[in-house]
Structure 1
């Protein structure tokens, strides 16, 4: 067995393993297909034998013949419907389960599982790649079984009832028709994988260009991006052309075999002096077996594309989790205080740690700040607090409990992070606010909007909280988007709120108003605000200064301002900017 066929066998086991409960209905689809195709052969045999008898002058009883043909045709139609209904029900149910499985594995791992990946490329795997797997469930096993079962039954009947010589002539050609797609399997599998990879690269390129249109035009990069898009398109076209050549050669070989089978059958029948009726029946069986025998050839190309797509989906689903739930959860946090002790984290492939031996404590019910220039490790700190990643060394604690010993759902119910560039989902304002708390009532939504300073704005909208929103927040300003994300986090009533440059799109007055409202509406909340604006940190606030991943200063902002150091240099940089 080749490495490629071994890969397909492993993918088959993986797909069936996740959809095992659907097998009984799949068996119904197989039986219906085999029965329907046998009736199709029978229909041709009855029609051909009747025509041959009539041509030789034999009397034919028309009414019984019509009844037989109608009965066979209706039964075949019912079996065809049953085959399609059960096969596609299995297929669509399986796709639904694969999508649920993909999101169940992917969503809890964000942002670590999605970093370095284009959103459009992941979307391609979750939609089009999973859709292509339909071929495996709806158009693979039933045709594969019928491609063997129907010819076997028909040829045995031909040998026993009609003439063994005719069955002997047809058998090698039918067998060769079945074998050709299998011989070409490695080539079509390689071609399908190239097409899937090229399609994913093109989707990633298009997604990047659409999202970055403003930057591309502003930087004058239109020509270079179009050249890159043309190159990706040529790679996909080349991959598809290669797959098309392989498919055409395979299809041509099958047609040649079927034509030779007819010639050989007529030559054998003529040499043996068989009757016209016998020859007609033999030809009817030969023609009737074209569709079943070519079933393997018909689905092979689609099956290889389905396997290539399934492989891409499996890569996401079976990827090693970056963080996992503990085997046995530890003690519950005693309060909402956050502590990092000698924490170090280096991203894969990075030359230096993003956070290097950082120790800090954020008191419960306090508003603390983390400041530093871009790239100093501030956002990495936010990732650690939500367990987007675990530190390589050191310990992160919430209320004295180590984060690694808390269930992810429990941790993320207690800690909320609002990022600098949040995303709204298509729906309404209310839909987005309820994202983390589906059961929240309208009063809770309004309280959170008030805390974010958006209650007056929402009241001024014609549809209020039922106002539609568009993907990525394209229908609101940057400042409104940030405050909606803040309100959404507050609806879930977290104990710790991390603001990762989450007010950066607001002017100083509006940002100050939001902070004051948040203190008023949620006085018991532990807030860790991550910002580069050291000049806006109040004198009485606790602050940590990061530089190149290391803690270079900490303490009360007023004390740090009173002495020359990293904090004052950062303030001076803000004022100059």
Structure 2
């Protein structure tokens, strides 16, 4: 019920087209009544033995009514389509903006395929529901009432019969809604599950082939496709049941009304023209309800998808804007980052990811975070980028809590190069300007030279205009990594986070990148997340994490001399290398 009320509220997105849709539909009903009355009058005149010339006027009115009705229905459908398009545009915009507001912290627990299905297919499935069904609800009540009122003037008995039969359809609709609702939601759930697995297969095609698992995964896809087929057939069976019940009520009501009118004509209570009028108007009385039923079936996929759409819109953001945003000093110099007694537990988890971390990243210095997988390194980087807020404690930049900064400013403080460099489908220049939209060609070239990638870009078919493909598939892993480094350099943020930034390059390129990164980190506060200890070289200090806690912190050589956790990590790394 709440979802239906919210969908009804979507019509406020296009009040003009909605009003036109309803007005044209009601006017079309009026035209149908005019046509029926004109034909009945022509029959009456013919029965009275009037000359053919006297039939011309009512027949002309009937022809004009038919033409007007056709035009009105065309305008109605056009307005309904415009309504749906306007609603979908605004709704898709709201969902997209909400996804961007949620960020990685708010969408991490949702499969990408589920989100894609809701935003793309789910919004598109609302077309029939918001454009045609919801406006038709008004028409389905007002139109039949108008027809029955006209029938009451012609033959009150037939009017009562038609009115009762028309009223049975909405009374039966809750039963139909429950039947179609269960089947429709099951169908959408099956389709969504299939879409998720298909998207996984497309993204992981190379891995599936490499592992020889494409056949097994194909069997799973076939099983999901069969599940969609079964759900579709059950949905169609439910729809067929509804159509049969609706047709039975409609046919029985029309036949009974006409039969009664015929008997009353035999008794002399009404004339033959009235019987014809009853026949034509009874059919018109049922038409709005039948159209409503058709639109309901066509739009129920949208109803089923609406749950996922509104779940995204209602998802709580992991972080929010402050009531009054403060600012970090903007002199362009290096900044100090402080994790002050920071603890954080991911939503839905029982175990904290980091516990009472008290760590300072000195301004203009490089700090390395090391530790086993799951120690909390990436969590601290996510807190620094304000994808989440600490459960307790604070992350401060130059003494200002990140929660007191606007999200835009908080995230502009940090540039990140992760171990999995993500490139968007577009040109090299487009991907670079993600970091700084107003960057000149000279700026792009300078950043790429520092990242040791300019010569390779220049050798591409269109140079910086070369399209890199989805996720940068037209570039090698090392090229993608260096392009991501160039993008981070172009952002020129005061804090640089390197998450195994050289992990996808060969030895010779890694050495060149070390020189470039040393140049980039000079005078900049840098956080290096290290899984390979070779990436720690050149760090001013090291923080060793274990179980979400900082167990050691200091200069690498000093820690090595203590024989503690850092020393053991170095020893284990050296042993593995041998």
TM over 0.5, yes or no? Answer: yes
Q: What is the CA deviation profile of residues 136-160 of structure 1, one whole-angstrom value per residue up to 9, with x for unaligned ones?
A: 3211222111112111111211221
Are 2:38 and 1:42 equivalent residues in the alignment?
A: no
Are 2:155 and 1:163 equivalent residues in the alignment?
A: yes
Higher deviation after alignment, 111-120 or 249-258: 111-120
The one of 195, 205, 215 equivalent to 2:197 is 205
Equivalent residue runs for 1:209-248 within 5 Å:
209-222=201-214, 224-248=216-240
Query: Quick one: distance in 2 between partners of 1:11 and 1:539?
Result: 57
Distance 1:252 1:227, change over 3 A: same
Query: Quick one: distance in 2 between partners of 1:24 and 1:174?
Result: 29
Are 2:300 and 1:304 equivalent residues in the alignment?
A: yes
Are 2:172 and 1:173 equivalent residues in the alignment?
A: no
Residue 23 of structure 2 is matched in structure 1 by 31
Query: Quick one: distance in 1 between partners of 2:82 and 2:231?
Result: 32
Residue 3 of structure 1 is matched in structure 2 by none
Query: Quick one: distance in 2 between partners of 1:321 and 1:19?
Result: 26
Contact kept, 8 Å, 1:420 with 1:502, in 2: the verdict is: yes
Shift of 1:124: 0.7
Q: TM-score, normalised by structure 1?
A: 0.91
Shift of 1:555: 1.6
Give secondary structure in 1 for the equivalent of 2:162: helix
Query: Quick one: distance in 2 between partners of 1:518 and 1:65?
Result: 89
Are 2:77 and 1:80 equivalent residues in the alignment?
A: no
Shift of 1:402: 0.9
Shift of 1:451: 2.6
Give secondary structure in 1 for the equivalent of 2:356: strand
Query: Quick one: distance in 2 between partners of 1:562 and 1:18?
Result: 67
Residue 103 of structure 2 is matched in structure 1 by 110
Are 2:135 and 1:142 equivalent residues in the alignment?
A: yes
Query: Quick one: distance in 1 between partners of 2:543 and 2:108?
Result: 26
Give secondary structure in 2 for the equivalent of 1:424: coil
Residue 319 of structure 2 is matched in structure 1 by 323
Distance 1:421 1:351, change over 3 A: same
Query: Quick one: distance in 2 between partners of 1:118 and 1:21?
Result: 29
Residue 558 of structure 2 is matched in structure 1 by 559
Contact kept, 8 Å, 2:10 with 2:130, in 1: the verdict is: no
Equivalent residue runs for 1:369-518 within 5 Å:
369-518=368-517
Are 2:113 and 1:154 equivalent residues in the alignment?
A: no
Shift of 1:303: 3.7
Query: Quick one: distance in 2 between partners of 1:387 and 1:404?
Result: 8
Shift of 1:125: 0.9
Contact kept, 8 Å, 1:139 with 1:299, in 2: the verdict is: yes
Contact kept, 8 Å, 2:162 with 2:285, in 1: the verdict is: no
Shift of 1:276: 2.7
Distance 1:480 1:415, change over 3 A: same
Contact kept, 8 Å, 2:369 with 2:543, in 1: the verdict is: yes
Residue 544 of structure 2 is matched in structure 1 by 545
Shift of 1:319: 0.9
Contact kept, 8 Å, 2:353 with 2:375, in 1: the verdict is: yes
Query: Quick one: distance in 2 between partners of 1:309 and 1:204?
Result: 14
Give secondary structure in 2 for the equivalent of 1:324: coil
Query: Quick one: distance in 2 between partners of 1:139 and 1:19?
Result: 11
Unmatched 5+ stretches in structure 2? none
Across the aligned residues of Structure 1 and Structure 2, the Cα RMSD in angstroms comes to 2.5
Higher deviation after alignment, 326-335 or 163-172: 326-335
Shift of 1:260: 1.3
Query: Quick one: distance in 2 between partners of 1:565 and 1:482?
Result: 33
Residue 5 of structure 2 is matched in structure 1 by 13
Higher deviation after alignment, 354-363 or 533-542: 533-542
Contact kept, 8 Å, 1:181 with 1:296, in 2: the verdict is: no
Q: What is the CA deviation profile of residues 349-369 of structure 1, one whole-angstrom value per residue up to 9, with x for unaligned ones?
A: 445322222222111222322
Distance 1:263 1:323, change over 3 A: same
Contact kept, 8 Å, 1:118 with 1:207, in 2: the verdict is: no
Contact kept, 8 Å, 1:535 with 1:571, in 2: the verdict is: no
Shift of 1:127: 0.6
Residue 255 of structure 1 is matched in structure 2 by 247
Contact kept, 8 Å, 2:489 with 2:520, in 1: the verdict is: no
Higher deviation after alignment, 52-61 or 444-453: 52-61
Contact kept, 8 Å, 1:129 with 1:313, in 2: the verdict is: yes
Residue 100 of structure 1 is matched in structure 2 by 93
Contact kept, 8 Å, 1:539 with 1:558, in 2: the verdict is: no
Shift of 1:222: 4.1
Q: What is the CA deviation profile of residues 61-105 of structure 1, one whole-angstrom value per residue up to 9, with x for unaligned ones?
A: 465456434432332233223322332222212211111211222
Count of paired positions: 568
Unmatched 5+ stretches in structure 1? 1-6
Contact kept, 8 Å, 1:333 with 1:401, in 2: the verdict is: no
Shift of 1:48: 6.3
Query: Quick one: distance in 2 between partners of 1:535 and 1:558?
Result: 14
Are 2:288 and 1:288 equivalent residues in the alignment?
A: no
Shift of 1:121: 1.5
Give secondary structure in 2 for the equivalent of 1:184: helix
Shift of 1:436: 3.9
Q: What is the CA deviation profile of residues 390-448 of structure 1, one whole-angstrom value per residue up to 9, with x for unaligned ones?
A: 22222211121111111111111111222222322222122222224322222222222
Residue 535 of structure 1 is matched in structure 2 by 534
Query: Quick one: distance in 1 between partners of 2:7 and 2:485?
Result: 40
